[in-house]
Amino acid sequence: MEKDYQKVWSKCLDLIREHVAPKSFMTWFQPIVAVGLQGSVLRIQVKSQYVYECLEEHYVDVLRMAIRSVLGANGKLEYSVVVEESQKGRPNSMIISSTQSGKMSGNGIDMKPEKGMVVENPFERKTNRLEIDPQLHASYTMENFVEGNSNCVPKASAMAIAKSPGKTAFNPFLIYGGSGLGKTHLAQAIGWEVKQNYPDKVVLYVTTNVFQRQFTEAQLKNEINNFLHFYQLIDVLILDDIQELAGKRATQNTFFHIFDELHRAGKQLILTSDRSPADLKDLEERLLTRFRWGLSVEMQVPDFETRLQIARFKARKEGFDFSDEILACICKYVDSNIRELEGAMNSLLAQTVFTHQDLTPQMVQDFLGKMIKDQKPEMTVERIEKVVCDYFNIEPEVLQSKTRKREIVQARQLAMYFCKNYTNASLAYIGKQIGRKDHTTVLYACKAVADLLETDRTFRSQVEELQQKLYCRS
């Protein structure tokens, strides 16, 4: 026998269908599931916070009309928003109430503040270590981390650490790479896996910026001992954006002692950085030495196939009705990082609401062209190698050969020069990727290019032309 709330929602859907375009109905309303009815309040379940926000932003009037038509003038909606969560014993949804006007009431959201924004007071001594909140984002799990060629090594390393935190050679574990590539996601995913495998272990995620503020406050209150005590309770410490320690000598000194204490006790340290250990500046050598004790892995810019996998995953998770052709078009145009890819998908979905039109590849190209036309593409070793090879009309494989032809040697040296100056890649990585050379060859190539720039006007014009091509989207 069909439940009353299902009958009510079915009647509401019949009314909504008459007032919205078929495509919009399929995208926004068809996936909704009714889950309860209490008096004149109908509860519906939506797939994500994003879907909820779009419904309240763009379809509040039609929802209000349908609810009141079926339940009367006092009819109200209550949303159950799915929150993906792999940890046992934690809620898998949050409840958001809507008032009669369709706007959220002041006390209508039953949810915690965003994770990672505030770490609990480290100056209060804990009688129970397990009271410490790990500060992990609910969606940053291994299940939600899409693996591809650009991140397979970091992912495999992370899984090994999660199985035996503090007991592998990967301690500390440093993940480095450009912005928006998934470093924070993977670091926190380790935390979730550890909590699942070892419920009694204390995990804490903290940004370097928050760590710095806590340290400053501890100094002002003369509570450094309590600060140190708090961090010595942690079994798995995840410190995000360690490059922000640069120049902060007192904070570096304190973190050095925390690092040593945790490492000596067999605790796991997980660090993220926007550059490799070799390229970190204004950090004490003793800290840099310790960063090299364990494993450093690079999170690279995802290739097309990985971007397409990520786009498909997001579309499925958020309920986006995008065809493979549209997803491929988005991934071809947005090639810098995952964050920009997700932002582009959100913006394009909103456009379908505003225009009531199905997306076409031309619409995607036109819209994204306007949205990111002023943004410079992110410089990567792979991008530089491609641009240089296109400019000299040679295949990338030729750069890897041992030929000493003048034009090939010059192309290789220019590629190394641009990589050193325009990316955060280490000299060793640049040499390995371009010509299978060592770091000394990269240094020699950069000096050769710099010398020619000073003495050869034609060569200087050639370099300037290449620089323009590097910063043009193609």
What strand order describes the sheet that includes 33-38? 33-38, 41-46, 76-82, 93-98, 104-109
- Average pLDDT of the segment spanning 282-309: 85
Task: Dump pLDDT digits (tens) for 246-255.
Answer: 888 888 889 9
Taking residues 341-365, report their average pLDDT: 72
Q: Which band of pLDDT confidence, cut at 50, 70 and 90, is reported for residue 107?
A: very low
d(C-alpha 178, C-alpha 396), whole Å: 23
Span 4-109 CATH architecture: 2-Layer Sandwich (3.30)
The CATH class given to the 381-470 domain equals mainly alpha
Encoded tokens for 367: 């819209």
Domains of the chain by residue range: 4-109, 129-298, 304-372, 381-470
pLDDT in tens, 118-143: 455 555 555 466 678 888 888 888 88
Task: State the distance between the two ends of the chain, measured CA to CA, in whole angstroms.
Answer: 59
Residue 147 has pLDDT above 90, yes or no: no
How would residue 357 be classed by pLDDT, with cut points 50, 70 and 90? low
Percent of the chain scoring above 90 in pLDDT:
16
- Greater confidence (113 vs 365) lies with 365
Under the banding of pLDDT at 50, 70 and 90, the label for residue 204 is: very high
Residue 87: the pLDDT is 41
Return the pLDDT at 90. 43
Of 3.40.50.2300, 3.40.50.300, 3.40.50.80, 3.30.70.100, the CATH number of 129-298 is 3.40.50.300
Residue 156 near residue 259, CB atoms below 8 Å: no
Three-state SS at 342 = helix
Strands (E), 139-274: 173-176, 203-207, 236-240, 268-273
